[in-house]
A and B are shown apart, each in its own frame.
Chain A
């Protein structure tokens, strides 16, 4: 009954007239709309980066230069990596976090709504600065997304494109830090009464640890970009050995950011999987606390492993970085076992979101296991900078990130829009993606073991051709699967089956509000007694009263 309801959280200033359309999205400080802006922008960048990947695969289908010259190829793969890593991967999850974290902890918005809007606009303009480099003379940067000095210094690579790259990404980095301050504060300070830390949904936990990592790792990125910019434009000599500098400095600072970045990208995805699997297994997550500790274990270790990207420099202490990197397998393994424990003796429904989560576990397993290989310096000597590494991190990034992201899209689309995505198209999407993805990247392991280096437009060894052709075919099949998803999105927006508030019998608080949620998120909030408040609420007497329309005429229905 009404006595189990809690007072609503403090509302931001009342909005009597809600603007709509473009003006609304340009001026909004609503975390949900900002979240959607993040997701749409990041997805658009993902499509652009994906097109560049297809261009790369076309060139590599045969030895020789067919589609473009070497300089264009170098620009294409550099911008592919730049768009995907810096402008898509971390931002699409930030978008989901923006939308979902306040809902999951029972808050009306994030702690600093205006700063939140500023983060998004900084991100967008930073991204546009990077993209503008396509239109300057000389074109965009062609120094790989890692931009190792001294190749990226003015001595070896001139042109405005490179400077725009640095400036744009530095702006995006600042946006990330600002966003992290906001989300971390939100999670620490805005939880509703009863929502203790150990009752937070695991997606929110994943976001908390991910944003803490951003706070510590992004400043290193800003530093390395600042040094590079000074060296390029003002004659600084940080990386010039002739003037007492050293090129290895760049690699150290870059990877001090770069390795945590991998976990920045993947931790919210772990969070998504942690939400989806329990719901579709109809069981609570197996080992909730172990999962939280595993998040922190991964985060702590991630700052001690950066030099495993530098085993072949001959300038790092191998055993330390080897054991730290190997140890990351332990908390990661705990997660996988906990997911199996959750499904064990559950009641599993194979919705598209669940299929994507299962796909995630399997490809992430391959990516994780090959990561253990790379943590061993002697094996790394053999496969570093070959297609083996390319395959490995695409199993983590494309496999892990995209499966998790799609799982999240299928899972929360009903909450965002009030409609479901088509499950039939979802299955097609899943199957084409599973086949296309593995076709693209599995053979890259083999050709990498055979010695094919990454970042080459042309190869002289004929026996690498067949693996490359399969990989190219797989890339186009993957593109088809993404088109199926876009088609699904377009028709489901207009004609999708109405979802209601809680289509999946969800566990966390976003499922007790309407779909889409009202401006201030909740008309009413249940009490929180466990990490599954929506589950508890559904099995309480208050729920029966709430769902009786005659007793609650003002309860909004999904549009």
Chain B
């Protein structure tokens, strides 16, 4: 009984591993900014895969091919300037190329919109989040027991102003492929433009003390209409501190 159950568990584990390995490229991004990161990551991955296969292939091949077969000393070569210059220049060119595509992607990711649709001040504190919707009076306050939810409209640029009330935290929604530290005394700003409606997991990524793993939040991306009615509702409740879901 136990062994069968264990065998089943093992099979399930193996299957899950396989699925995980196949999906091992980046998760798809749900924001406009994240798409640029996703594409950049894949480009890096292709180049890296080729480099890994070539280099490890050369290592393995030379070990198999050039095993010691007797006492005769092999030819004592000390180097080859042309060859060494080649394998200095090729990586340099690859690296410069990666730098150029990095800068291009970075501009897309960090480009700040002239007219953001929504302005949210995100305050990180030990150990939860407060989302303040600027100019509306709406506010969502969380706690480790009540995971707060940040509601945003799909298709509009959300300008996040990130601040910290105590120590350094990290604002991270995995499916945006983006994170930023919340640093006391510093206002950090970035834009997120959600392209897909959905409920997304978010979490503090900068270790911030005892209950760091409990510092969770959600982002709910909804249609413009739903957002407006949520906002009206939240504004009415005001900063009375209605905890999120």
Contacts and interface: CB of A to CB of B under 8 A. Distances in A.
B201 interface: yes
Given A241-B185, A376-B102, A466-B20, A451 B27 contact: yes
B220 interface: no
Nearest to A539: B73
Interface in B108-160: 109, 126
Contact of A151 (B37, B73, B109, B167): B167
Given A151-B207, A372-B98, A463-B16, A347 B68 contact: yes
Given A288-B78, A362-B56, A467 B184 contact: no
Given A347-B66, A376-B44, A449 B203 contact: no
B17 A343 contact: no
Given A156-B167, A345-B66, A350-B63, A340 B58 contact: yes
The A contact surface, by secondary structure, is helix
A382 B79 contact: no
Interface stretch (B173-181, B221-229, B234-242): B173-181
A378 interface: yes
Interface size class of B (residues with CB under 8 A): 35 or more
B87 A334 contact: yes
B130 to A, nearest CB: 18
A447 interface: yes
B232 interface: no
B183 interface: yes
A231 B88 CA distance: 47
Interface stretch (A16-24, A45-53, A96-104, A279-287): A279-287
Contacts of B41: 373, 379, 382
Contacts of B26: 382, 449
Nearest to B40: A378
Contacts of A381: 37, 109, 177-180
B172 A453 contact: yes
| Majority-rule SS of B interface residues | mixed
A290 B84 contact: yes
A445 B23 CA distance: 12
Interface in A118-144: 142-144
B69 interface: yes
| Best-surrounded residue of A71, A242, A369, A381 (most CB of chain B within 10 A) | A381
B103 interface: yes
A314 B188 contact: yes
B52 interface: yes
Given A347-B67, A365-B52, A369-B52, A312 B213 contact: no
B44 A373 contact: yes
B173 to A, nearest CB: 8
B37 A382 contact: yes
A394 B106 CA distance: 27
A372 B59 contact: no
A248 B186 contact: yes
Nearest to A450: B27
B168 A151 contact: yes
B83 interface: yes
A382 B48 CA distance: 18
B181 to A, nearest CB: 5
Contacts of B68: 282, 347-349
A216 interface: no
Contacts of A450: 20, 23, 27, 174
Nearest to A535: B76
Interface of A: 70-71, 74, 142-144, 148, 150-151, 156-157, 241-242, 246-248, 281-284, 286-290, 312-315, 318-319, 322-323, 326-327, 329-330, 333-334, 336-341, 343-350, 358, 361-362, 365-366, 369-370, 372-373, 376-379, 381-382, 384-386, 443, 445-447, 449-451, 453-461, 463, 465-467, 469-470
10 contacts: A74-B209, A148-B167, A247-B167, A247-B185, A290-B88, A314-B181, A315-B186, A333-B91, A378-B105, A446-B24
Given A358-B63, A451-B201, 15 more contacts: A151-B168, A241-B184, A283-B75, A323-B99, A333-B91, A343-B63, A346-B62, A347-B73, A385-B170, A446-B24, A450-B20, A450-B174, A455-B212, A463-B20, A466-B16
